[in-house]
């Protein structure tokens, strides 16, 4: 069967069968990339059906494929919807599996330890009653679940309870050294992935696999990166390293479970305080290479304490080989594993060169030392692009992406298959050129007037996106008092409930920050107006980006800031039109979009909407939508 025939077959089986030219074009391009072994970067606008656009040709080609998604929502959608659908309708036999990080699976060894009459009971005694009950329910669930995957839990559990029955990859000694290795859920998931034709992972796990030189994922011929505009940032996070004070606390807790004397664990825990103190004043700042003396001192001191812990564990291991129970031996093994990994991280941190950017991330209460690569391109070139065919897909591909991630130009095809939606007919881009510059003192109150007028014309139904919490809070306070529709703030409810409430009540407006620029999906009448306060440029003082800017020199604005702002704005704009019948206005309250020389670069990255600078046009279109929808 050809990929085109396979696509026609599955599209015919969809509830709303719809032939989409962009999807056909994408299938043909992905198929050619796999056959010719070149890389493909494909921009597939909202509504293209891009998941089938890459899954169908990859499965028909019979190549082992890993699909890496940036968000858990997309990973779950592939597992719950797209892959089962293809299994039923594609007419090609294939197997698939989902693989997650180890801490997503229930650890049978931990369940066994917590059920042990002596040590397990002691550990449970130290926990709150509600956590104990949750753990008992999790132990029962361990006997029923086929996957042990936290996503499949019938009810939500507290982080504390889940942490008690799971282990991270830093802690697990591996199936061969674990008495429960034969019945381990994480190992079973790895085994399924080992034999599957399509493996779905998230980009974080893929980045860890690259950093571990392919030790985590099975060998594969094709990599598909969905939501590929996030690849550079996630790759930076995962191939770099992080040393937070909490890592010392975690090691100390593991040591306390096995060492009778409190001195060694306490000494390790004290290293956490030392590290916190030295990092706190520099949160959000870049550090030098080599690391500053004060930081090196606490790391060397921490390492010395970890070495002492390793010696104590080795002595315990020798002494207990014959007498200790299997549970105690496992605890010793895991404590050694955790301690050793932290020693390794400190050793790596002390060896960094100019290719790495150390900085202090986190918050003043929870600072952490982060070390990220200055440039992820060489790492991906060596670990990914040189080893397999890659398909990078997203609704928004910044022009800078191929260079930023190091895709080789001579083996690369780029394609934009557009969107099947009628953007010129259904969407209007309004730039409020009459407003003052965002850096002007009068800007904020004037944007509130603008919001009130637009929300009034739209009858509510507004998603207002802000580039700072401060701006969002000010707008909520000012606008709430002046409109007669409900205004929800991102601070009011957890994200899932905010989305549910916004969708349930048509007039309701939602005011939110950067986390809602992507992945917020509210199709239909409930959303007719998306407002964005400012062009979302990255922070000038972002430590990693400022190091990259320095390395690029005068071209940095065009290579870093502009594409990032355009991609974020395009993502935010993408919230408006989710189906073929959606209509509405995107209002940008930043005059620079129409006055700055770079404005066109940003506008060209957005879907092809009609454009206006007149608020009256936006209000008229919104009133027409409200009237035609009977609102
Ligand atoms: S191998 Fe053992 S310790 Fe590791 S996750 Fe599986 S059951 Fe837990």
Residue among 100, 108, 333, 334 to mutate when testing ligand 1 (max atoms within 8 A of CB): 108
How far, in Å, is the centroid of ligand 1 from the Cα of 231?
Answer: 30
Q: What is the pLDDT of residue 630?
A: 56
Q: Which residues pair with 225 in a beta bridge?
A: 68, 392
> How many Cβ atoms sit within 10 Å of the Cβ of residue 327?
19
Q: What is the pLDDT of residue 208?
A: 92
Residue nearest atom 1 of ligand 1, based on CA coordinates = 175
Q: What gap in Å lies between CA 277 and CA 32, rounded to an integer?
A: 55
Residue among 106, 178, 327 to mutate when testing ligand 1 (max atoms within 8 A of CB): 178
Q: What is the pLDDT of residue 629?
A: 63
Q: What gap in Å lies between CA 334 and CA 331, rounded to an integer?
A: 5
Q: Is 140 helix (H, G, I), strand (E, B) or coil?
A: helix
Positions in the chain whose pLDDT score sits under 50 = none
Residue nearest atom 3 of ligand 1, based on CA coordinates = 172
Q: What gap in Å lies between CA 348 and CA 167, rounded to an integer?
A: 23
| 172 CB within 6 A, ligand 1 | yes
> How many Cβ atoms sit within 10 Å of the Cβ of residue 132?
17
> How many Cβ atoms sit within 10 Å of the Cβ of residue 618?
26
Q: Is 177 helix (H, G, I), strand (E, B) or coil?
A: helix
- The DSSP call for residue 149 is B
- The DSSP call for residue 578 is -
Q: What is the pLDDT of residue 324?
A: 66
Q: Strand locations in 398-447, DSSP E? A: 412-416, 427-431
User: Is 591 in contact with 435 (CB distance < 8 Å)?
Assistant: yes
| 168 CB within 6 A, ligand 1 | no
One-character DSSP codes across 71-123: SHHHHHHIIIIIHHHHHHHS-S---EEE---GGGB--HHHHHHHHSTTHHHHH
Atom of ligand 1 nearest to the CA of 185: 6
CA dihedral 80, 82, 83, 85 (to 10 degrees): 100
Q: What gap in Å lies between CA 145 and CA 152, rounded to an integer?
A: 8
Q: Which residues pair with 202 in a beta bridge?
A: 69
One-character DSSP codes across 454-486: HHHHHTS-EEEE-SSHHHHHHHHHHHHTT-SS-
How far, in Å, is the centroid of ligand 1 from the Cα of 404?
Answer: 37
Asked whether the CA dihedral 583, 589, 595, 596 is positive or negative, the reply is negative
> How many Cβ atoms sit within 10 Å of the Cβ of residue 93?
8
> How many Cβ atoms sit within 10 Å of the Cβ of residue 611?
16
How far, in Å, is the centroid of ligand 1 from the Cα of 584?
Answer: 51
| 180 CB within 6 A, ligand 1 | yes
- Cis amide bond preceding 290, omega within 30: yes
The CA-CA-CA angle for residues 31, 37, 39, to 5°, reads 80
Q: What is the pLDDT of residue 18?
A: 79
Q: What gap in Å lies between CA 291 and CA 122, rounded to an integer?
A: 42
| 187 CB within 6 A, ligand 1 | yes
Q: Whose CA is closest to 560, among 236, 149, 310, 289?
A: 236
How far, in Å, is the centroid of ligand 1 from the Cα of 320?
Answer: 21
CA atoms within 13 A on the CB side of 75: 20
Q: What is the pLDDT of residue 321?
A: 59
Residue 74: alpha-carbon gap to chain centroid: 10
How far, in Å, is the centroid of ligand 1 from the Cα of 420?
Answer: 47
Residue nearest atom 4 of ligand 1, based on CA coordinates = 172
Q: What is the pLDDT of residue 81?
A: 92
How far, in Å, is the centroid of ligand 1 from the Cα of 73?
Answer: 26
Q: In angstroms, what is the C-alpha Rg of the chain?
A: 27
How far, in Å, is the centroid of ligand 1 from the Cα of 127?
Answer: 22
Q: Strand locations in 289-447, DSSP E? A: 356-362, 367-373, 389-394, 412-416, 427-431
Residue nearest atom 6 of ligand 1, based on CA coordinates = 184
Atom of ligand 1 nearest to the CA of 174: 1
How far, in Å, is the centroid of ligand 1 from the Cα of 220?
Answer: 25
- The DSSP call for residue 368 is E
| 178 CB within 6 A, ligand 1 | yes
Q: How far apart are the first and last CA of the chain?
A: 49
Q: What is the pLDDT of residue 119?
A: 67
Q: What gap in Å lies between CA 597 and CA 438, rounded to an integer?
A: 16
Q: What is the pLDDT of residue 363?
A: 92
Q: What mean pLDDT, rounded, does the chain reach?
A: 92
Q: What gap in Å lies between CA 25 and CA 43, rounded to an integer?
A: 11
Q: How many angstroms separate the Cα of 622 from the Cα of each of 528, 583, 617, 629?
A: 7, 9, 9, 11
How far, in Å, is the centroid of ligand 1 from the Cα of 107?
Answer: 5
| 175 CB within 6 A, ligand 1 | yes
| 142 CB within 6 A, ligand 1 | no
Q: What gap in Å lies between CA 581 and CA 523, rounded to an integer?
A: 9
Residue nearest atom 8 of ligand 1, based on CA coordinates = 107
The CA-CA-CA angle for residues 561, 565, 567, to 5°, reads 120
Q: Whose CA is closest to 231, among 361, 392, 45, 411?
A: 392
Q: Whose CA is closest to 59, among 187, 215, 218, 200?
A: 200
User: Is 244 in contact with 366 (CB distance < 8 Å)?
Assistant: yes
> How many Cβ atoms sit within 10 Å of the Cβ of residue 594?
16
How far, in Å, is the centroid of ligand 1 from the Cα of 221?
Answer: 29
Residue nearest atom 5 of ligand 1, based on CA coordinates = 107
Residue among 105, 169, 172 to mutate when testing ligand 1 (max atoms within 8 A of CB): 172
How far, in Å, is the centroid of ligand 1 from the Cα of 155?
Answer: 23
- The DSSP call for residue 148 is -
Atom of ligand 1 nearest to the CA of 334: 3
| 167 CB within 6 A, ligand 1 | yes
């Amino acid at each position: 069967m050809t990929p085109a025939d396979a696509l026609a077959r599955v599209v015919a089986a969809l509830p709303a069968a719809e032939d989409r030219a962009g999807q056909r074009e994408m299938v043909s391009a992905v198929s050619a990339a796999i056959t010719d072994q070149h890389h493909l970067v494909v921009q597939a606008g909202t509504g293209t059906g891009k998941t089938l656009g890459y899954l169908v040709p990859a499965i028909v080609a019979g190549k082992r494929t890993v699909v890496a998604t940036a968000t858990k929502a997309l990973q779950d959608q592939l597992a719950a919807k797209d892959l089962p659908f293809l299994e039923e309708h594609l007419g090609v036999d294939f197997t698939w599996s989902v693989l997650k990080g180890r801490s997503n699976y229930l650890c049978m060894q931990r369940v066994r330890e917590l059920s042990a009459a002596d040590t397990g009971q002691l550990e449970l005694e130290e926990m709150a009653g509600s956590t104990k009950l949750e753990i008992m329910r999790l132990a029962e669930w361990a006997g029923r679940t086929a996957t042990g995957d936290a996503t499949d839990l019938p009810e939500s559990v507290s982080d504390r309870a889940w942490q008690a029955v799971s282990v991270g990859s830093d802690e697990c000694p591996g199936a061969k050294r674990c008495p429960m290795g034969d019945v381990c859920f994480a190992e079973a998931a790895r085994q399924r992935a080992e034999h599957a034709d399509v493996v779905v992972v998230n980009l974080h796990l893929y980045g860890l696999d690259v950093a571990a030189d392919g030790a985590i994922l099975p060998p594969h011929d094709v990599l598909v990166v969905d939501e590929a505009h996030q690849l550079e940032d996630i790759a930076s996070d995962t191939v770099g390293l992080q040393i937070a004070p909490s890592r010392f606390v975690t090691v100390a807790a593991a040591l306390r479970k096995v060492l009778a004397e409190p001195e060694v664990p306490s000494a390790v825990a004290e290293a956490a305080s030392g590290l916190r103190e030295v990092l706190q004043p520099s949160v959000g700042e870049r550090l030098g290479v080599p690391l500053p003396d004060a930081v090196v001192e606490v790391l060397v001191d921490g390492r010395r304490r970890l070495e002492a812990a390793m010696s104590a564990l080795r002595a315990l291991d020798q002494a207990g080989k014959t007498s200790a129970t299997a549970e105690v031996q496992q605890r010793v093994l895991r404590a050694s594993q955790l301690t050793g990994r932290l020693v390794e991280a400190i050793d790596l941190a002390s060896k960094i060169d100019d290719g790495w950017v150390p900085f202090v991330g986190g918050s003043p209460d929870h600072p952490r030392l982060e070390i990220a690569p200055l440039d992820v391109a060489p790492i991906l070139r060596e670990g990914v692009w040189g080893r397999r065919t890659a398909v990078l897909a997203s609704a928004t591909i910044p022009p800078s992406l191929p260079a930023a991630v190091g895709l080789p130009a001579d083996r690369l095809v780029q394609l934009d298959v557009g969107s099947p939606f009628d953007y010129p007919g259904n969407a209007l881009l309004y730039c409020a050129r009459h407003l003052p510059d965002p850096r002007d003192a009068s800007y904020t109150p004037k944007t509130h007037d603008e919001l009130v007028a637009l929300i009034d014309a739209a009858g509510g139904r507004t998603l207002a996106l802000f580039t700072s919490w401060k701006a969002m809070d000010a707008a909520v306070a000012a606008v709430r008092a002046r409109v007669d529709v409900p205004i929800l703030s991102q601070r009011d409810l957890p994200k899932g409930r905010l989305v549910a409430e916004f969708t349930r009540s048509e007039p309701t407006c939602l005011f939110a920050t950067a986390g809602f620029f992507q992945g917020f999906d509210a199709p239909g009448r409930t959303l007719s107006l998306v407002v964005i306060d400012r062009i979302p440029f990255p922070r000038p003082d972002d430590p990693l980006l400022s190091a990259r800017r320095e390395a690029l020199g005068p071209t940095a604005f065009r290579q870093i800031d502009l594409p990032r702002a355009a991609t974020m704005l395009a993502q935010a704009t993408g919230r408006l039109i989710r189906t073929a019948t959606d209509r509405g206005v995107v209002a940008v309250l930043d005059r620079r979009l129409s006055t700055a020389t770079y404005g066109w670069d940003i506008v060209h990255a957005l879907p092809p909407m009609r454009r206006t600078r007149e608020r009256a046009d936006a209000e008229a279109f919104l009133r027409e939508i409200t009237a035609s929808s009977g609102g």
